[in-house]
Structure 1
Amino acid sequence: MNLFQFKESIHLRMFKIIGTCLVLITLTHLTNGQVTLSESKAAKDKAVRHILSKREFNHGWDGGHTIRVVTGLQLAEDGWYKDNTTILESASVRQRDAEILSVFAKDPNLLKTAPEVISEWVNSIISTCQDPAKFHGVNLIDILKKKLDTIPSGATRHAAQTVAVSLALCNAGVQVPNSAIVKINNDMKPNKGLCNFCIEGSSLTILAMQCIKAQQPDNKLINGINTRQIAYLKGKQNDDGGFGTTVATTLAIEAANVVGTQTLPINVAKALAWVMKDQDKEGGFGSLLTTALAAPMFIGRSILDVKNVKCKKEPPTLSPPSGKMNIKLVIEDAIYAQRSIESRIEASSGANLLKVLKDESDKHPKSFMFTTKNGLIETVNLVEPEPKNGWSWQTLKEIGSKKEVTTQSLENIKPKNNDKYILRFGKSL
């Protein structure tokens, strides 16, 4: 071995050692159930890249998976496809439509097509801002309603079909019949012992009830159904953080995100870490469908969000009325919910940040509330600081790609039009 080869060998060893250390540090981090927002987003981005790398020459995905993959991409990217603005994405959506319509060639009345499959079609169509009641001349909503009446009672697997159909109808803005809710109440009763797919079924039921509850707030059966599913799920998390499979764990996380961890007391961070350890170096989670299901979960989204996807071209930013300014406000929870919510506030020109926040809280007291201490944010939406963990609220200003922590009193901060402020809960930056 000459001197050059010796040096090259030493460098390779050093790289291997450094790489091994980084892997060990990452595994230790995940094993302890510590997942940051940036890590969660990185896992989502990696999953999306993996999904896109598997696209076929027809711009769809092998095995008839285009329908569910498009839904996953729309949720994960908040509008991967937008109003035919890009050729490749538009081609994938057309391929999805073709795959749905091809079923009619074999089964014109959809007598042999399972109701949960049609539910997946409806959710996917909604996610691309199309009307499932006017899908290439076919009213899929009417078909789904008729399918609902054909689902038998008396078994959990049939109840899961009813849940899937009810959720799709609710996502479409259609009133879910009380008969369907009664059927779910009677049949969706997971066993305490071995129960195949009960974790998945209970999690989806919680998501469905969240949607239906917004439609029918006075329906007393909904709370009873939710209580039963939550009671089952909360004791099913394993010591390692998972719920047995990646699919089951993903759905359990989504259920907890929707109702909150106070209602469904599971360790979401530990569950996230468990799922992330299953991601391979290409970004996948085994099957393409599992990857498409997991990707949106990493940014706090679920099938409930199909109706909120931004797949329309956003109109140009409008100038605020005279004497007004537009402020972007982000509430970011890096600990509990592991997600951020952005909104636009119209405020009086020249108002300080405290005045802007107070006015917004007065307009929407149930969705935005805060307290201050010594001129700084202390609590937001009842989430209090936890000094023993080093968790507190901070105010940041986003300038370009940078975020700067502001230590001034809110009264001394004078926002300008289109400024962006972030109220962040987590460890101090």
Structure 2
Amino acid sequence: MLYLPLVVGFSLVAFGYTQDLELQHSRADPSSTTDSSNNATTNVDYESSMQRALAWLITQRDLHYGWHNDTPKVLMALQLVQLEDSASILPTQLEILLSTKQMEVETVILLWRHREVPITPPKLAIFALAFNALCQDPRQFHGHDLIGTLQHHELVQDLDFGYATLAACSAKAHVRKKEIRRLLEIANAAKSHNIDTVSVTIIALKCIVKDHRHRNLQHSIRRPCISLARQQLTDGSFGNVYNTAIAMQALNDIQDINTYWNRTAAILYIESKQDPDGAFTDPGLTAEVLLAMSSKGLGAVRNLDCGRQDPDIDNHLMEFGVTKMAEPNVYYNDSDPRNITVSYTLWMGTNITENHTVLITALRNTSFYSIMQMAAEMNPHFEFESSEWPNGHYVHTLGGHKEEPMGYHYWLLYRLPEMPDPHAPPGNKLVAPVGVDDLLIEDGDHYLFWYKKL
């Protein structure tokens, strides 16, 4: 269950409204120095289609500095284009801040109303990607883990799965091997899927191979990329403007496949579809085109320099702080000062015939379900199965031991102030008050799943 106080939403609205008034006042004052964006708009040379598209996007901004349903996608495009092009046509930092606050308000409202109007995974993924592009961690959004929420869904649609995995990878969250296998299966059956699905899947795989643990998958991307490239039509497109834009992002930076597709022809096709005012139909599609025509697209979000140390830069495990302890089944990672380390223990049987423990480091407020996924990847003893209900996941099997209601054997989850001791088992008053989805880790916590007879 989500516990986001209404005051968060109201405070964000109030902040945006106050700044909005201040900015409008400064623009009305001829002596003001904050009118740089307007002055730039009147002087800039609009020869390029990108400049005209940017100028049009800015005119579509509403009074609250958002773009309605397209706010996250537009903000992400503006941020990535800004990083490579310092043209004064782009919004000022204050304007970007106001738009970011508006996106936060929209996100709070979506989360608050998720019971009556469920958030679709692709939409939540775009919000998460946008926060990443703006150097805000989507795993710590006012105490809520947007990436964890995405990963909790059993996504049937391959396109939804691709977007969710891309968002998780871009946030440097844990991507499980079975999820990578599914991406590879989609990519290797490119002709059986829509172009947008294959493109997003390739972008997600390109993100994953940037992690030192998965760089051996680099060769697995080439064949799907060639298959996608060969679907380019004689007019330079991949069917329509959207498919062409997303395919261009997938094929960028892939070496030695230029003989299979023509990027220049794709750009000429897109430019031929631009409206006289600079738009590509609507703000969302215009933002997608900007991402495609710049050197940075959705796949560039993971590599943004937000002043945080990236442990994946170095190939040598010991050089970036990930260490396997001498004790069996114990790991930790101290490369990020925002991380905290918690212990996760499994006990089997009322008499505790089996005892397994891992130490896992993750960001504060990561959901315990995400911790379980990490542990399962580290150690087969922690592999689990669960059922998905409207209020979250119900874990019924751990380490091959399934609950037996007829024999009154159940898995109980405890949240403890210290490492569990088999000689002094915890009482039922320490059973976790919420499920694995809503249980957020805190520094100094210890977690125990105990298979016992009630």
Q: Within 5 A, what are the aligned runs for 1:151-190?
A: 151-152=155-156, 158-188=157-187, 190=189
Given that 2:238 and 2:244 are in contact with CA atoms closer than 8 Å, whether structure 1 keeps it comes out as yes
Q: Select which of 35, 53, 58 maps to 1:47.
A: 53
Call closer, same or farther: CA 1:204–1:41 in 2, change over 3 Å.
farther
SS in structure 1 of the partner of residue 253 of structure 2? helix
TM-aligned CA deviation for residue 230 of structure 1: 2.2
Call closer, same or farther: CA 1:243–1:68 in 2, change over 3 Å.
same
Map of 1:247 onto structure 2: 242
Distance 1:229 1:73 in 2: 29
TM-aligned CA deviation for residue 309 of structure 1: 4.6
Distance 1:235 1:308 in 2: 28
Given that 2:147 and 2:167 are in contact with CA atoms closer than 8 Å, whether structure 1 keeps it comes out as no
Map of 2:286 onto structure 1: 291
Residue 99 of structure 2 corresponds to residue 103 of structure 1: no
Call closer, same or farther: CA 1:281–1:40 in 2, change over 3 Å.
closer
SS in structure 2 of the partner of residue 214 of structure 1? coil
Distance 2:168 2:80 in 1: 18
Q: Select which of 262, 285, 299 maps to 2:257.
A: 262
Residue 67 of structure 2 corresponds to residue 61 of structure 1: yes
Residue 101 of structure 2 corresponds to residue 94 of structure 1: yes
SS in structure 2 of the partner of residue 301 of structure 1? coil
SS in structure 1 of the partner of residue 98 of structure 2? helix
Distance 1:74 1:94 in 2: 14
**Identical-pair percentage:** 24
Residue 268 of structure 2 corresponds to residue 273 of structure 1: yes
Distance 2:202 2:242 in 1: 15
Call closer, same or farther: CA 1:71–1:215 in 2, change over 3 Å.
same
Call closer, same or farther: CA 1:202–1:127 in 2, change over 3 Å.
same
SS in structure 2 of the partner of residue 173 of structure 1? coil
Given that 1:200 and 1:248 are in contact with CA atoms closer than 8 Å, whether structure 2 keeps it comes out as yes
Q: Deviations over 1:254-275 (max 9, x none)?
A: 2221213536721001111111
SS in structure 1 of the partner of residue 104 of structure 2? helix
TM-aligned CA deviation for residue 188 of structure 1: 4.8
Distance 1:233 1:41 in 2: 31
Residue type at the aligned position of 2:81: A
SS in structure 2 of the partner of residue 78 of structure 1? helix
Distance 1:134 1:163 in 2: 22
TM-aligned CA deviation for residue 212 of structure 1: 0.7
Given that 1:71 and 1:123 are in contact with CA atoms closer than 8 Å, whether structure 2 keeps it comes out as yes
Structure with the bigger RCO (C-alpha within 8 Å, sep 6+) is 1
Normalising by structure 2, report the TM-score: 0.52
Residue 73 of structure 2 corresponds to residue 74 of structure 1: no
Q: What residue ranges of structure 1 are gaps of 5+ in the alignment?
A: 1-38, 153-157, 313-429
Residue type at the aligned position of 1:243: F
TM-aligned CA deviation for residue 123 of structure 1: 0.3
Distance 1:143 1:80 in 2: 34
Distance 1:122 1:88 in 2: 20
TM-aligned CA deviation for residue 189 of structure 1: 5.5
Q: What residue ranges of structure 2 are gaps of 5+ in the alignment?
A: 1-44, 308-454
Distance 2:93 2:226 in 1: 46
TM-aligned CA deviation for residue 171 of structure 1: 0.7
Distance 1:41 1:78 in 2: 20
Residue 108 of structure 2 corresponds to residue 112 of structure 1: no
Distance 2:278 2:303 in 1: 26
Given that 1:213 and 1:219 are in contact with CA atoms closer than 8 Å, whether structure 2 keeps it comes out as yes
Map of 1:122 onto structure 2: 128
Given that 2:209 and 2:217 are in contact with CA atoms closer than 8 Å, whether structure 1 keeps it comes out as no
